[in-house]
Amino acid sequence: MPVTAEPSAVRGGGRGRFAAVGRAFALVRRDPFATAGVLIYTVFLTIAIFADQLATHDPNQILYRPNGRVASNLPPFAQHILGTTNLGRDIYSQLVYGARSALIVGITAAFAVVMIGTLVGLVAGFFRGFVDMVMMRIADVALGIPFLPFVIVLSSFLEPSMWNVVIGMALVVWPSTSRVIRSQVLSLRERTFVEAARVTGSSPFRILFVHIAPNVLPLSFVYGSIAVGWAILTEASVSFLGFGGGDTVSWGSMLQNAYASQALSRGWYHWFVPPGVCIILVVVAGFFVSRGFEEVLFPRLRD
Amino acid sequence: MQGSSRLVSRLVLTLFVLWTVATILFLIFRLMPGSPLAAFVSPTFTPEQQDSLRRQFGLDRTLFDQYLLFIGNLLQGNLGESFFYKRPVGEVVMTAFANTIALTLGSLIVAYTFGVLMGAMFAWKRGTRVEAVGIPIVLVTRAAPEFWLGMVLLAIFSFGLGWFPGGGANSAGQSFSSEWARIFSLDFLRHLILPATALALYLQGLPLLLMRTNMLEVMQEDFVTMARMKGLSNWAIVIRHAARNALLPVATAFALGIGQSVGGNVVVETVFSWPGLGRMLVDAVAASDYPLAQGAFLLITTVLVTMNFVADLLYSLLDPRIAHAGHR
């Protein structure tokens, strides 16, 4: 890719093992974008954790009016904060529970992608040779697989579930992380502090995981914070297409329901706008946080 | 010399990737529950059709024989019969492909023209309020799900204002003398505008940010300083020297964008009922039309892998430094 990370970020790598990580967090606090990103994440995390307390209704429950008829298509701001769906379900409560499934999928997928990507990058870059060659060819194949269609095909032989997105991402999305990590490791392994560790008799694995790994962790965080958003976007797309889990309430499935129930032609904006705004906020938060990390990684952009 | 050997090795890699993906796909559809016949033969086919397919794909033979036949048929473009359309998959897939390419190219051209111009502008306005407001807006458009943008556009401009049709690629009852006449008709254009806008809104962020970063970098290079010392005007420097060099990575991103959009369009095509490849894949998977799903997926993959190769070529062609730099 045209954009490659300059090794300048890890200049002081030898001094403190986790100095780079510490500096990354310190900078995130100073960068307004990154602060906003962390703030948005915190809000959604809180909503996801306390969904049971925050929701006013069971998101799947069909509600009835006092006269016994289904409470369908109620307008927002009356008894229901965001109104109800055409089947009498509370939209606000669905939105709150949607945050939970979005974050579960987003964080698990990001963790899987970054773990695999970082490990492959570390091992391939450090050991070079045959291992490197095999791993990078696998990465080439994974980069040649169209991601969303792959998740769709996966769901044709796995049970439809939101975990398909996590599996799909773990299988296909790691190469971009591992390529960048690998190129960092290639330059790090020639540094004096690695040479010093080698001379003093550290084992290769000790050098790799104690001396080199902490220096590439900030990069992994960048890719992780972007991957969270990407996973949430993908989960929404997959649910929208009808391949998500059956009963799980997610922002994507809310949008699918709204679309299928003609909410667009009837102008029920209060139904399909909020889930989209939530998705945008979470994904943008990932961009903002990664931007904060980039300030650490691409210092010359600050001039 | 070095350039051509690099070309050959990239080509070999491209073919290797295609072959591997085809093999993975073969295995996925064989691992599916049900008999191995299920991947190619629908019980709704006539007995003659079933027999012919069983012979073509060797469905009563060993897995390895089936694999060889699968690859052999694939090389001849034979992907079996669609369960739903009862026609060869290759034929069905190619009609959808034309619609997808029209949508992809239309939205990419709009997105990249806009993105490049705005990106150059943002680089020029670095540190001003324009940038402070503009960049977060661009990030928001990149974060918005394409299909949700499509839904909002549909609700406003199609159902609300009635300016554009609510879906499909052509009005019902229209007939055209040829496929080309259909794609260049006014009716097609009217259907194309909303889905293409939804995609373009999402796609413009990448060229914009790329162009901005590249411009900022190029402006610091020696040849720009040189041009400045020669007394050239700012405008001449930007147009003649900086922009031209900053465009290289954007051109590469455009090629990559074609490959990625053909697969990524799946959701937008579904929202707008656009009869393209992505929607065909979704429908095929939902209806368990396995041959069609395989065919659509393979075509999407082929486009992606080919465009990755083209982007790579373009990059080394436009930037001679790469040709000598060895592997990345």
Residue A121's CATH number:
1.10.3720.10
- Give the total number of structural domains in chain B: 2
The confidence score (pLDDT) of residue B37 equals 60
Same domain, B60 and B189: no
> Considering CB atoms only, which of A152, A275, A280 is closest to B281?
A152
- The rounded distance, in Å, linking the Cα atoms of A215 and A181 is 10
- C-alpha dihedral (B78, B82, B86, B87), degrees to nearest 10: -30
Q: Which residue of B has its CA nearest to A265?
A: B159
Quick one: average pLDDT of A262-281? 80
- The rounded distance, in Å, linking the Cα atoms of A152 and A159 is 11
User: A8: which 2 tokens?
Assistant: 């300048």
Same domain, B284 and B203: yes
- The rounded distance, in Å, linking the Cα atoms of A126 and A18 is 19
Domain stops at, among B75, B110, B135: B75
Same domain, B54 and B141: no
- Residue B206 falls inside a structural domain: yes
- Residue A207 falls inside a structural domain: yes
| Alpha-helical regions (H) of chain B | 2-31, 47-56, 63-75, 89-124, 129-143, 146-153, 179-183, 186-203, 205-218, 222-229, 234-236, 243-264, 266-271, 277-286, 290-318, 320-324
Same domain, B155 and B260: yes
User: B203: which 2 tokens?
Assistant: 């796609």
DSSP B239: I
Verify whether the Cβ–Cβ distance B216 to A259 is below 8 Å: no
The confidence score (pLDDT) of residue B73 equals 79
Least Cα distance to A223 among A177, A167, A287 occurs for: A177
Distance, in angstroms, between A294 CA and closest chain B CA?
Answer: 13
Same domain, B190 and B321: yes
Distance, in angstroms, between B177 CA and closest chain A CA?
Answer: 33
What stretch of H or E contains A185? helix A174-188
With contacts defined as CB-CB under 8 Å, which chain B residues touch A180? Answer: none
Residue B274's CATH number:
1.10.3720.10
Q: State the best of B21, B199, B285 to mutate against chain A, taking most chain A CBs within 10 Å.
A: B285
- Residue B80 falls inside a structural domain: no
State how far the alpha carbon of B14 is from the alpha carbons of A176, B22, B26, B237, B264, in Å.
17, 12, 18, 39, 20
Quick one: average pLDDT of A34-54? 83
DSSP A90: B
Complex ipTM, two decimals? Answer: 0.80
Tell me the pLDDT tens digit for each residue of A128-180.
888 888 888 888 888 888 888 888 888 777 777 778 888 888 888 888 888 88
The confidence score (pLDDT) of residue B195 equals 87
- C-alpha dihedral (A121, A122, A125, A127), degrees to nearest 10: -130
Contact between residue A71 and residue A64 where contact means Cβ atoms under 8 Å apart: yes
- Residue A156 falls inside a structural domain: yes
Angle, CA A220 vertex, CA A216 and CA A224 arms, to 5°: 170
Q: What does pTM read for this prediction?
A: 0.80
- The rounded distance, in Å, linking the Cα atoms of B292 and B298 is 10
- Residue A9 falls inside a structural domain: no
Contact between residue B287 and residue B279 where contact means Cβ atoms under 8 Å apart: no
The confidence score (pLDDT) of residue A72 equals 67
Contact between residue A273 and residue A294 where contact means Cβ atoms under 8 Å apart: no
A32 touches chain B (CB under 8 A): no
Contact between residue B255 and residue B309 where contact means Cβ atoms under 8 Å apart: no
- The rounded distance, in Å, linking the Cα atoms of B221 and B92 is 52
A14 — pLDDT class (breaks 50, 70, 90) = very low
DSSP B220: T
State how far the alpha carbon of B201 is from the alpha carbons of A45, A235, B148, in Å.
29, 20, 11
Write phi, then psi, for B276 (nearest 5 degrees): -110, -175
Same domain, B67 and B142: no
- Give the total number of structural domains in chain A: 1
Higher pLDDT, A295 or B200: B200
| CB contact set of A281 (below 8 Å; sequence gap of 6+) | A40, A44
- The rounded distance, in Å, linking the Cα atoms of A285 and A229 is 8
Domain stops at, among B75, B101, B123: B75
Same domain, B146 and B251: yes
- The rounded distance, in Å, linking the Cα atoms of A271 and A257 is 9
Same domain, B138 and B258: yes
Q: Residue A256: which domain range?
A: 19-301
Higher pLDDT, A234 or A6: A234
- Residue A63 falls inside a structural domain: yes
Domain stops at, among B31, B50, B75: B75
User: B88: which 2 tokens?
Assistant: 């060869």
- Residue A100 falls inside a structural domain: yes
Q: Residue B167: which domain range?
A: 89-327
Q: Average pLDDT per run of 10 along chain B, which is 328 residues long?
A: 72 89 82 60 72 69 76 79 77 85 90 87 79 82 86 78 72 66 71 85 86 79 77 74 75 84 85 86 82 87 88 72 45
- C-alpha dihedral (B193, B197, B198, B200), degrees to nearest 10: 140
- Residue B84 falls inside a structural domain: no
Provide the β-strand partners of residue B81: B88
- Residue B81 falls inside a structural domain: no
- Rg of chain B on CA atoms, in Å: 24
- Residue A193 falls inside a structural domain: yes
A5 — pLDDT class (breaks 50, 70, 90) = very low
Which positions 84-143 of A are in contact with B (Cβ < 8 Å)?
137, 140-141, 143
Verify whether the Cβ–Cβ distance B148 to A255 is below 8 Å: yes
Same domain, B53 and B123: no
Mapped onto helix, strand or coil, the DSSP state of residue A294 is helix
Write phi, then psi, for A70 (nearest 5 degrees): -65, 135
With contacts defined as CB-CB under 8 Å, which chain A residues touch B21? Answer: 141, 144-145
The confidence score (pLDDT) of residue A22 equals 66
Mapped onto helix, strand or coil, the DSSP state of residue A95 is helix
Mapped onto helix, strand or coil, the DSSP state of residue A191 is coil
- Residue B139 falls inside a structural domain: yes
Same domain, B180 and B308: yes
- With a pLDDT cut of 70, the percent of chain A lying above it is 75
- Residue A149 falls inside a structural domain: yes
Contact between residue A214 and residue A17 where contact means Cβ atoms under 8 Å apart: yes
Same domain, B281 and B159: yes
> Considering CB atoms only, which of A137, A146, A236 is closest to B263?
A146
- Residue B83 falls inside a structural domain: no
Same domain, B8 and B31: yes
Contact between residue B292 and residue B92 where contact means Cβ atoms under 8 Å apart: yes
Contact between residue A83 and residue A89 where contact means Cβ atoms under 8 Å apart: no
Angle, CA A233 vertex, CA B161 and CA A168 arms, to 5°: 135
Tell me the pLDDT tens digit for each residue of A50-90.
877 776 777 777 766 667 666 666 666 666 666 777 666 77
Residue indicated by tokens 């690099």: B6
| CB contact set of B46 (below 8 Å; sequence gap of 6+) | none
